[in-house]
Structure 1
Amino acid sequence: MIRTQRDGDVRVVTLDRPERRNALTIDGLDALEAAVTETDAPVVYLRGAGDAFCAGADLDVVADLEGDEAREFAVHGQVVARAIEESSSAVVAGIDGPARGGGVELALACDVRVGTDRATFAEPAVEFGLFGAWGGTVRLPRVVGEGEAMDLALSGRVVDAEAALRMGLLSRITADPRAVATELAANDHGALAAIKRRLRDDDAATEQERREAAAFADLHSTVDFDRA
């Protein structure tokens, strides 16, 4: 499900489940965390195989959660997103196709989000009674502002690459997102790590994530997954 390769000073991490649009299971989340954190590469480049970046959580897994498992699954995703955010490497998301739900949240945890003109974003879980609980309600307003975050989360609407660039979901649009990771890796590696630590210094987010996971679990118990 997760492939890695080293390309000079860049570790390329590929979500490799194209038949499910790179949706993540529990094992996939664990493998992703290890792929991003267990490296000395100054830059990590995160991408999706096939025609999507990531569809988020595998809904077959989410539908089978019972009781406290829903909260635990939300916390699990939060831990992985926070590991990306707190990684000593600068993490670049290369988005060449749809990012949905947890895929948006993983992208938000990355330091730089670069997309092609095929990149799209949406938080569609609101349509069947859930919301993005891998830190999405914490990071989305931080990145795009409260107004845009409310619109995206409450509507579930799809945002194209140009709109994503305007609101800050994307840092750049380019035909070759991977080249941006190589560009960053050409800078001083110590400076990259120090800059990331300073810009990411936000201790209050963890308490917000705790409340997010609890709310996700409450809603999960009411969802009819046959509608999802």
Structure 2
Amino acid sequence: MVGTTADGAVRTITLDRPEKRNALTRETLRDLESTLADATAPVVVLRGAGEAFCAGADLDVIAGLDADAAGEFAALGQHVARTIEGYDGAVVAAVDGAARGGGVELALACDLRVATPAATFAETGVRLGLFGAWGGTVRLPRIVGESAAMDLALTGRTVDATEALRLGLVSRVTDEPRQVASELAAVDHGALRTVKGLLRDGGDREQREARERAAFAELIAARED
């Protein structure tokens, strides 16, 4: 249910359930986690097969959950999202077609979200009496701001690629998202990993600045070796 291919410094991971619009089951999430754990490329592209990026959690799975199983399923999704976020390299969500619910949450965990003109996004959980429990309530306001996050999460409305770009939900709209991965692969890989780690740093300002100075010195030292 998850495929992977390599092209130089770029590894592409494909959610491969096109008949289900790449909806996520426990098995798909575990496959995605293990594929990421095995990856060593400095740049990873996450994409969906067929006409959708990812429809979110498989509703057949949701229908069979009790309260305990729901908590476990949420924990698994959160863990996978953290695995994406913490990957030792850059992860690009190449969104072509629909991203819904958990699919949006996986994209939010990526370092860059690049959309085609055909991409659409919606946090549809509220329409089903649910919400994004894979870290979406944490990452969405951080990325688009609280006001836009409230609008998207409370209404469940769909936004197209143009509006997603305006909101900051995606960083670019292009016919070929993987071109962005090629740009990332062309930079110094050590610097790429270092800068990502610093931008993801959640410490206070002084601690972050100290780590920034130390990391910069380490990169200079590596150039001198």
Q: Same fold (TM over 0.5)?
A: yes
Q: Partners of 1:48 and 1:87 in 2: how far apart?
A: 19
Contact 1:52 1:96 (C-alpha < 8 Å) held by counterparts: yes
- 2:222 alignment counterpart: none
Q: Partners of 2:99 and 2:160 in 1: how far apart?
A: 10
- Amino acid of the residue matched to residue 122 of structure 1? A
Residues 132-143 of structure 1 aligned to structure 2 (within 5 Å): 132-143=132-143
Q: Deviations over 1:105-150 (max 9, x none)?
A: 0000000010110010001110121001100000000000000000
Residues 89-168 of structure 1 aligned to structure 2 (within 5 Å): 89-168=89-168
- 1:172 alignment counterpart: 172
Contact 1:165 1:171 (C-alpha < 8 Å) held by counterparts: yes
Stretch of structure 1 that moved more, 194-203 or 151-160: 194-203
Contact 1:10 1:181 (C-alpha < 8 Å) held by counterparts: yes
| Dislocated runs of 4+, deviation >2 Å | none
Tell me, what secondary structure is at the counterpart of 2:54?
Answer: coil
Contact 1:126 1:153 (C-alpha < 8 Å) held by counterparts: yes
Residues 66-81 of structure 1 aligned to structure 2 (within 5 Å): 66-81=66-81
- Amino acid of the residue matched to residue 15 of structure 1? L
Q: Partners of 1:169 and 1:37 in 2: how far apart?
A: 26
Structure showing greater relative contact order (alpha-carbon pairs closer than 8 Å, 6 or more residues apart): 1
Identity of aligned residues (%): 66
- Amino acid of the residue matched to residue 182 of structure 2? T
- Amino acid of the residue matched to residue 169 of structure 2? L
- 1:43 alignment counterpart: 43
- Amino acid of the residue matched to residue 95 of structure 1? V
Q: How many residues align?
A: 204
Q: Partners of 2:159 and 2:18 in 1: how far apart?
A: 21
Structure 2, unaligned runs of 5 or more: 205-225
- Amino acid of the residue matched to residue 184 of structure 1? L
- 1:202 alignment counterpart: 202
Contact 1:37 1:84 (C-alpha < 8 Å) held by counterparts: no
- Amino acid of the residue matched to residue 92 of structure 2? V
Q: Partners of 1:110 and 1:39 in 2: how far apart?
A: 15
Tell me, what secondary structure is at the counterpart of 2:47?
Answer: strand
Tell me, what secondary structure is at the counterpart of 1:75?
Answer: helix
Residues 185-224 of structure 1 aligned to structure 2 (within 5 Å): 185-202=185-202
- 2:223 alignment counterpart: none
- 2:221 alignment counterpart: none
Q: Give the alignment's Cα RMSD to 1 decimal.
A: 1.1
Q: Deviations over 1:184-225 (max 9, x none)?
A: 011011111111111112379xxxxxxxxxxxxxxxxxxxxx
Tell me, what secondary structure is at the counterpart of 2:142?
Answer: helix
Deviation at 1:37, TM superposition (A): 2.8
Distance 1:128 1:203, change over 3 A: farther
Structure 1, unaligned runs of 5 or more: 205-228
* Structure ID, larger Rg: 2
